[in-house]
Every structure is written in C-alpha cells, then in structure tokens.
Amino acid sequence: MTDDAAGEAPPEGPRRRARRERAERRAAEARARAIEEARREAKRRARGLSPEAKPVPRGAIRGLKLVVATVLAVLVAVGLGLILYFTPVMSARDVAVSGAEVVTREEVLDAAQVQVGTPLLQIDTDQVANRVATIRRVASARVQRDYPSTLQITIVERIPLVVRDFADGPHLFDRDGVDFATAPPPPSLPYLDVENPGPSDPATQAALQVLTALSPDVADRVGKIAAPSVASITLTLTDGRVVIWGTTDRTAEKAQKLAAVLSQPGQTYDVSSPDLPTVR
C-alpha cells in the first residue's frame, strides 16, 4: 500500500452523511433560536423591562377593571347620599296628613315638629310618628318619605266605645280602655260602670270584651254595661231590659244566645250559662 492511499479518508456512506446533515441542522436551529432570543432581550431592555417580565393575564385585567368600577360606583352612591342628606335638593317642602277626621291638621303638625325645608333623609320618621302618637285621640301614626319633597303622616284615630262621667265631664274610652277625650259622647254610646276604668283595669277589659263580642244589632241597644267585678257583668238595654252575663267565659256563645232570646218577651235575660239561657 502506498503513502497516498494510507492518508485518504474512508469514503462517507449514506448513514454517516444523514447523521452529519441532522447534526448540522440542529446546530443551525440552535444558532437561530439564540439569535432570536438575543433580539427579544434587546427589545425588552430598550423598553426598560426586566428579563423576567411577563404579559399580564387577561383575567387579571378584567378583575382589576371590575374592582375599579365597583369603587367608582360606591363613591358615586356615597356622594349622592351626602348631597341628599346635607342639601335641600330633596327636602320636606310639604307635610301631608291623612286619616284625620276629629283631630285637626294643625294638631298633627304641632306634634310632629317637622321644620319645612329639612332634607328628608335627616328626618327620623320613627321619632315623628312617636310624637304624633302622643295626641290623645290618635291610636297610631305612620310617617313616610314621599320623594322628592313630601313627608306623609298617616294617623288612625281612636273610636269611642263607651263613656263614663267624671267631675270634669264625660270621658270617652276606646276598645282598649284608653281614656282619650273629654267631650260630649256620640248618641247611643253605652255608659261604662266600673270603679277604676282604664286599659290596665281587669273589670274594664272584661266589660269591653263583652261589648265587642255582641252583634251590631244587639250592641246598638246597650245603654249601660256594669262590671263591679270580672265575674258579675250585666248589661242594661236602652228599653230597660237587663242581661245577666256573668263572666267572660264562652263569650262568643253567650253573644249568640242573647241575640236569639231577645226576641222573647221578658225583663231579665240570663245568659251566664249559655247551655241554659233563661228569660223571666
């Protein structure tokens, strides 16, 4: 074998050539990626971003926008509330009163103590209602803001159920036993004969319970109801007939039996035992 033949490289086969070409392609791709990364890094440095900076996710951006919108809405609501509370934009320019028949509008306004021009939000409606309810003839009061500029006061007046005479004149009592007026009684109002009339008096409550249980036709004929005790209630009709009622037990049954036996002639009607009412 000659020297020239010994220095020549062995011929490259197809497999070796394929491996070499794959290695060259990988090297070229690596160089290209390195060049691209270097280019991106140069752009980030030019914009002042750190190499680790990443784009903000879209979900985070939407959440941030929602928080900002909520804060703005709260600020607007608070601002509007402050404007309505401290300025006369929605102030009480009118006070409307409803439900007053015997009680006058002036009495209600005097008790309410509402200064016209006060912002509606500054008015404590519960306190105004409590002041109006101190009027003797008022059973209850409700106060509402009627935007933009009206305060509505609605009252329920007490209705007289019985009357009792006192040194200063006749006093009217409602179904709860409240003495709410000193005035001439309406026609045919029954007279209440108890020792200490009032809402906390058991005899008063017993007598009123009987009256409210009667049918309207029978109640209109009662001239006096007496209750010296809760166990001995009697009714005197306007024509002079007497009804012995007894206790308040089985009051509804007694009222039914009385309505039935009053059609019978007699002077005394005893329904104290509703199972065996008597007429004599």
101 in Cβ contact with 157 (< 8 Å): yes
Which of 157, 178, 199 is the last residue in one of the domains? 157
248 and 175 in a single domain? The answer is yes
CATH label of the domain that carries residue 115 = 3.10.20.310
CATH label of the domain that carries residue 228 = 3.40.50
State pLDDT tens for residues 111-142.
999 999 999 999 999 999 999 999 999 999 99
State pLDDT tens for residues 198-227.
999 999 999 999 999 999 999 999 999 999
Among positive and negative, which fits the CA dihedral 157, 161, 164, 165? Answer: positive
pLDDT band for 78, please (50, 70, 90 cuts). low
The whole-number average pLDDT for the span 260-265 is: 96
**Nearest alpha carbon to residue 178 among 137, 220, 225, 219:** 137
% of the chain residues with pLDDT over 90: 65
Q: Residue 171: what pLDDT?
A: 97
The whole-number average pLDDT for the span 67-71 is: 76
Question: 78 lies in a domain?
Answer: no
Question: 29 lies in a domain?
Answer: no
Question: 172 lies in a domain?
Answer: yes
Which range marks the domain in which residue 255 is found?
162-279
105 in Cβ contact with 99 (< 8 Å): no
pLDDT band for 253, please (50, 70, 90 cuts). very high
169 and 96 in a single domain? The answer is no
Q: Is 178 exposed, middle or buried (0-12, 13-18, 19+ CB in 10 A)?
A: middle
Which of 141, 157, 173 is the last residue in one of the domains? 157
Question: 67 lies in a domain?
Answer: no
114 in Cβ contact with 128 (< 8 Å): yes
Which of 123, 157, 191 is the last residue in one of the domains? 157
Q: Which long-range contacts (CB under 8 A, 24 or more apart) does 108-113 make?
A: 108/132, 108/135, 108/153, 108/155, 111/135, 112/143, 112/153
177 and 273 in a single domain? The answer is yes
Question: 238 lies in a domain?
Answer: yes
141 and 191 in a single domain? The answer is no
271 and 167 in a single domain? The answer is yes
State pLDDT tens for residues 161-176.
999 999 999 999 999 9
pLDDT at 50 over 70: no
Question: 62 lies in a domain?
Answer: no
